[in-house]
Amino acid sequence: MKKYIVSLALGLMIIAGMSSCFHHRHDISIAVSEDEDEYEMDADYGKSKSHAVQVYLNNHLLTNSNTSVHNGFVDDEITLDDESTFYINANPGELSIRINKNENSEESCERVKRICEDIKVIIEDN
């Protein structure tokens, strides 16, 4: 009887632990903040979306820079050929992009905003 109770308790703990792991794969958190000085997007998402986000960033945002997202990682202040500068921190399942509006043209800021909107769609797409 004691073995049965221990086995049952162990089984329930394993099931609870596994369901917790599966649950977190689908948690998505996207926060966008903007004021007169800065635009910022922070996102937490399932690691399964990391490759799609990485490819999009490399093809649409980092095309004119010496930096690219490799293996889902980048943490750098980026300066593009047009002298636009922004900060990006990407890890598998996490992304932060920040652009200072006072140091960049309105066109550059709008470009970063559009790219962030596209990334939100990629992340939210099931």
pTM above 0.85, yes or no: no
On whether residue 10 sits in a domain, the answer given is: no
On whether residue 92 sits in a domain, the answer given is: yes
What pLDDT, in 10s, does the model give residues 27-60? Answer: 899 999 999 999 999 999 999 999 999 999 988 8
pLDDT bucket at 112, cuts 50 / 70 / 90: very high
CATH for 57 = 3.30.160
Given this model, what pLDDT does residue 23 score?
44
- Token pair of 6, please? 């221990």
Number of structural domains in the chain: 1
On whether residue 9 sits in a domain, the answer given is: no
On whether residue 14 sits in a domain, the answer given is: no
Dist CA 44 CA 116 (whole Å): 13
Strands 38-44, 85-91: pairing kind: unpaired
Strands of the sheet containing 85-91, edge to edge, are: 29-34, 38-44, 94-100, 85-91, 74-79
Rg of the chain on CA atoms, in Å: 20
Residue 50's domain comprises 28-124
What pLDDT, in 10s, does the model give residues 54-97? Answer: 999 988 887 766 666 766 688 899 898 889 999 999 999 999 99
On whether residue 17 sits in a domain, the answer given is: no
